[in-house]
Amino acid sequence: MRKKGILVSVLLIINLCLTGCWDQRLLKNGRLVFSSSFDMVDEDTIRATAIIRDFKDRTPTNVVVQGEGKTIRETRMSMDRKISGVFEPSKNRVFLLGEELAKKDIYKFLDIFYRDPNSSISAKLAVVEGNGGEILTKLSEKNVLISEFIIELLTSAEVTTGVPKQNLQTVCTIMFDEGKDFALPLIKMKNGEVVLDGIGIFHKNSLTGTLSFKESSLYLLMNNQKAKSTRFVSKIDNDKKMSIDNYITYNVSKSKSKLKIVSDTPENIQVEIDMKMDISIAEYPQDKLTDKSELKRLNKEISKHLTKDAQKMIEKIQIANSDLFGIGRELIAFHPKTWEKINWEETYPSITIVPTIKVDIVGHGIIN
């Protein structure tokens, strides 16, 4: 009994000597933000728009709050003074960057999220053509769950190889890589509706151009980023009476792309991107897919069509000076002497990039 009493006394003394801390943030005291946008009012002022989730008669509703400031932190302080409770952005699931803001160095605006341990770095990023606040305001008028709508809009496009999978964390690593650039989904207002319209492409963390939805899908395939499904429509004829007979729709079953630097001479850098693709026909009104000569013709026409599209897409990214394929990274890794002799920002737009796409039809659908 005496030993037991001594043991209890020792444990009590140890507990009294131990120090600890307890930091808690009660969600019941906060106003949860689920989506935000940032826009430039002028050269010195940022406007932030936040959608706060609220409930009315047990039904979720949207409350739009805006604030202006010189920094993102100051816009938060401004919004915090306009709401009851504490402005709580830790549950933010998507950030929209207005076009004018995205044309600047976006890291300067995202810096706060990487420094604050309460930030959700898994939140998705997207660029808006025009004003991001207008997109959120337009969606709030429909009384929908805005964040869920945008997330599902982006996720469905990711699954169909329409846009790259990007969030705050994945973009951060690329922003500090001098040999590679990145792209973000592009959202716009079209005929009064909010739509996903391709991707915005970046150079040195600034928006420098855009690609259409089809060009984005082709870029992702050529960069070996195929998702669950991919579908294209190609025009393979011009002389058919009915317009629909001139087109073919197909799904990409499998694709593999290989990038190779065939010349690393500083004055004449040449790159080849070869991609092989297995496809399955989803729609072809002309039929005749059992004819071997017709299949051979279609393989050739579709390959030619996609190669031409790839050439146009590469031309656009070079004009934007956006090294989406990470060619600079290849030079750094495997041709370091060449990399040391060149100014990549000046050299990249004029290098030769030759794409070659070869298609093989492996599926005809359920019709034989």
The H or E element spanning position 326 is none
Taking the C-alpha atoms of residue 262 and residue 246, their distance in angstroms, rounded to an integer, is 37
Long-range contacts from 265-271, C-beta under 8 angstroms, 24+ separation:
265/338, 266/338, 266/341, 266/342, 266/347, 268/352, 269/331, 269/338, 269/342, 269/347, 269/351, 269/352, 270/351, 270/352, 270/353, 270/354, 271/325, 271/327, 271/351, 271/352, 271/353, 271/354
Q: What is the mean pLDDT of residues 106-123?
A: 88
Angle at 127 (CA atoms; ends 126, 128), nearest 5 degrees: 120
Which two tokens mark 64?
Answer: 């739009």
> Which DSSP symbol is given to 329?
H
Domain residue ranges in the chain:
28-211, 225-368
Ranges of H-type helices in 210-291:
213-222
CA 219, chain centre distance (Å): 13
In angstroms, how far is the first alpha carbon of the chain from the final one? 89
CB atoms within 10 A of CB 168: 18
Beta bridge partners of 77: none
User: Does the pLDDT of residue 28 top 70, yes or no?
Assistant: no
Taking the C-alpha atoms of residue 92 and residue 174, their distance in angstroms, rounded to an integer, is 22
Q: What is the pTM of this model?
A: 0.87
- Which pairing describes strands 231-235 and 206-211: parallel, antiparallel, or unpaired? unpaired
Taking the C-alpha atoms of residue 340 and residue 328, their distance in angstroms, rounded to an integer, is 11
Q: What is the mean pLDDT of residues 228-235?
A: 92
Which stretch of 81-85, 120-124, 225-229 has the lowest confidence by average pLDDT?
81-85
**Per-residue exposure over 318-337, b if at least 16 CB sit within 10 Å of its own CB, e if not:** bebbbbbbbbbbbbbeebee
Fold (topology level) of 225-368: GMP Synthetase; Chain A, domain 3 (3.30.300)
Choose among 168, 154, 143: nearest CA to 53.
143
What average pLDDT is seen over the chain? 87
Which pLDDT score is estimated for 9? 61
User: Does the pLDDT of residue 236 top 90, yes or no?
Assistant: no
Note the pLDDT tens digit of each residue in 43-65: 999 999 988 877 667 776 778 88
Choose among 153, 159, 311, 324: nearest CA to 230.
159
Contact residues for 178 (Cβ-Cβ < 8 A; gap 6+): 328, 332, 344
Residue 238 or residue 368, greater confidence:
238
User: Does the pLDDT of residue 119 top 60, yes or no?
Assistant: yes
Choose among 159, 183, 219: nearest CA to 97.
183
Taking the C-alpha atoms of residue 273 and residue 347, their distance in angstroms, rounded to an integer, is 18
The H or E element spanning position 227 is none
Contact residues for 117 (Cβ-Cβ < 8 A; gap 6+): none
Note the pLDDT tens digit of each residue in 246-299: 889 999 999 999 999 999 999 999 999 999 999 999 998 887 788 889 889 999
